[in-house]
Amino acid sequence: MALPRITSPHATGSNRTRKIMQLVLLATLPGVLVLTWLYGFGTLINILWASAVALGCEAAVLRLRRRPVGFFLRDCTAVLTAVLLALALPPYSPWWLTLVATAFAIVFGKQLFGGLGQNPFNPAMIGYVVVLVSFPVEMTNWPAPRGFEAVSPTLGLVEGLQRILGFSAGLPDAWTQATALDVLKVNKSLTIAELWAGNPAFGSVGGYGSEAVNLAFLAGGLFLLYKRVFTWHAPLGMLAALALMSLLFWNGSGSDSNGSPLFHLLSGATMLGAFFIVTDPVSGATSLRGRLIFGAGVGVLAYVIRAWGGYPDGVAFAVLLMNLAAPTIDYYTRPRTYGHSKPERGFKLGD
């Protein structure tokens, strides 16, 4: 009988990377359902297509890098990236748009840096930003949600597929709809009350439809918090910073208003970002205080871009910018080791 030589600890917890990824996937479910209810099958088709592309790209690059393909595909990280990306893209976005975004996210955003755990930027956000910058028209083509059947009917499965594959030239242009953040951004003359009354893009407090989506993602995020998949620090940091910024710069209801805190919290990609993007451990900060700072940075930057930048929503850019800052945040938030009088801070020899 050969007894193995194994290093301690011999007991291990039940926490596994794959399990975490699956939980996060599960937590996107409310958001997916609401999106599907609002826009039809577009989101689901996006998710399936993006997942297939992600797995294909991941497998190809792993093979090229001579890494065990099956072993890494099963960790579900590629699928998670694809799903998050698909949720961020407009439903019914053309197939090639999803392909470019996903392939870029997996190949350039993740594998070229060394694969799982090595990417300095959030791959989903890399892919999103690349297509946002390259194809702004397609990226702002959000369909009209449920409730606008008068303008354009919600697409069925076949019509949706046609639309995605580009066979639907006959569909009317009015089918697309500017989002609330867009409307607010281009507004020059109307007061908030007039906007709210006159534009169907607005719901009760946030953008029409996106309120519900954000609330769904919030629910998913709270589920993950309950499951202790991540700590509250990064999401709270981001939401608090965003709320604080919008409160500070909320100049009433005039035509130059940037919107209320509640509006910002429940519009655009706020909740998706706060609970599914900012909490990405690989590209974020590691220590608790670091995560708080990281989240707060994302919140501030997102508001800055929304209010004064060139894009209606800024979560993706804010995340990427803070990804850049994460190593520095880690350096300055090192904990005090037991038995040391003060924590070592800053850069050390050999950096």
Partner 1 sequence: MSLILSAVAALAAICLVAGAILGYAAVRFRVEGDPIVEQINDLLPQTQCGQCGYPGCKPYAEAIANGDKINKCPPGGQATVQALANLLDVEAEPLDAPEGEKPRMVAYIREAECIGCTKCLQACPVDAIVGAAKQMHTVIKDECTGCDLCVEPCPVDCIDMLVVGTSVQNWKWELPLPPGQLIATDREQAA
Partner 2 sequence: MSAETKIWDFPGGIHPPQRKDLSNRTPIQQPPLSRRLTVPLSQHIGATAEPCVTVGERVLKGQKIAAGSGFVSVPVHAPTSGSVAFIGPQPYPHTSGMLSPAIVIDTDGLDEWCALAPCADFRSLEPLALLDRIRDAGISGLGGAGFPTAVKLTARPQQKIHTLVINGTECEPYITADDLLMREKATELMVGIDILAKLIEPAEVLIGIEDNKPEAIAALRAALGERTYQLRVFPAKYPSGGEKQLIQILTGREVPSGGLPADIGILCQNVGTAVAVHDAVVLGKPLIARITTLTGEALARPMNVEALLGTPVADLLAFAGLDAQKMDRLIMGGPMMGFTLPALEVPLVKTTNCLLAATRAELPPPPPALPCIRCGECALVCPASLLPQQLHFFALGAEHEQLKAYNLFDCIECGACAYVCPSTIPLVQYYRAAKADIRELEQKHQKAEHSRQRFELREERLRREEERKEEERKARAERAARAKAAPTEAAAGPGTPAAPAANEEFKRLKIEASMAQVALKKAEKQLAQHDTAALHAQVAELRAALEAAQQALAGAQADAAQSAAPPVADDAALKKAKIDAAMLRVQIRKLEKLEAPDDEQQAELTSLRERLAAVERTLAAAPSNVPAPAPRPAGEEALKKAKIDLAMKRGELKKAEKAGADEAELTRLRDALAGAEQALHAAEDASGKPAPQLVRTDKRPIDETTRTLKTTVAFARADLRKLERDANAEPAALAAARERLAEAEQKLAEQQRP
Q: Are 235 and 278 in contact, with CB atoms under 8 Å apart?
A: yes
Footprint (CB under 8 A) of partner 1, residues 31-70? 67-68, 70
Nearer Cβ to partner 2 (146/289): 289
Among residues 71, 226, 338, 347, the one that binds partner 1 under rule CB under 8 A? 71
Least distance (Å) from partner 2 to the CB of residue 284? 8
CA 93, 97, 99, 102 dihedral sign is negative
Least distance (Å) from partner 2 to the CB of residue 238? 17
CA–CA distance, 207 with 184 (Å, rounded to integer): 10
What are the beta bridge partners of residue 176?
Answer: 143
Nearer Cβ to partner 2 (157/324): 324
Nearer Cβ to partner 2 (141/279): 279
Q: Are 142 and 207 in contact, with CB atoms under 8 Å apart?
A: no
Nearer Cβ to partner 2 (80/132): 80
Spatial CA neighbour of 246 closest among 302, 162, 177: 302
Q: Does 12 bind partner 1 (CB under 8 A)?
A: no
Cis peptide leading into residue 123 (ω within 30°): no
Spatial CA neighbour of 174 closest among 193, 198, 156, 200: 200
Least distance (Å) from partner 1 to the CB of residue 282? 13
Q: Does 72 bind partner 1 (CB under 8 A)?
A: yes
- How many residues form the binding site for partner 1 (CB under 8 A)? 9
| R_g (Cα) of the chain, nearest Å | 22
104: CB partners within 8 A, 6+ apart:
126, 127, 130, 131
Nearer Cβ to partner 2 (22/191): 22
Footprint (CB under 8 A) of partner 1, residues 282-311? none
CB-hemisphere CA count at 13 Å for 26? 12
63 makes contact, choosing from partner 2, partner 1, none, with CB < 5 to 8 Å by partner type, with none
Q: Does 145 bind partner 1 (CB under 8 A)?
A: no
Nearer Cβ to partner 1 (118/231): 118
Nearer Cβ to partner 1 (53/62): 62
Tell me, residue by residue from 89 to 118, as one string, x for binding to partner 1 by CB under 8 A and - for no binding: --------------------------xxx-
Nearer Cβ to partner 2 (91/284): 284
List the structure tokens of 102. 């996903």
Q: Does 21 bind partner 1 (CB under 8 A)?
A: no
Q: Residue ranges of the alpha helices (H) in the chain? A: 17-27, 29-39, 42-64, 69-73, 77-88, 95-103, 123-134, 136-139, 157-165, 180-186, 192-198, 210-226, 233-248, 261-265, 270-272, 288-308, 315-332
Neighbours of 227 (CB within 10 A): 14
Least distance (Å) from partner 2 to the CB of residue 283? 8
Among residues 1, 2, 7, 347, the one that binds partner 1 under rule CB under 8 A? 7
Binding site for partner 2 (CB under 8 A): 1, 3-13, 15-17, 19-20, 71, 75, 77, 115-118, 231, 281-282, 284, 286-288, 291, 330, 334-340, 344, 348-350
Q: Are 151 and 173 in contact, with CB atoms under 8 Å apart?
A: no
189 makes contact, choosing from partner 1, partner 2, none, with CB < 5 to 8 Å by partner type, with none
Backbone angles phi, psi at 240, to 5 degrees: -65, -45
Spatial CA neighbour of 88 closest among 283, 309, 272: 272
Q: Does 314 bind partner 1 (CB under 8 A)?
A: no
Chain residues in the site for partner 1 (CB under 8 A): 7, 67-68, 70-72, 115-117
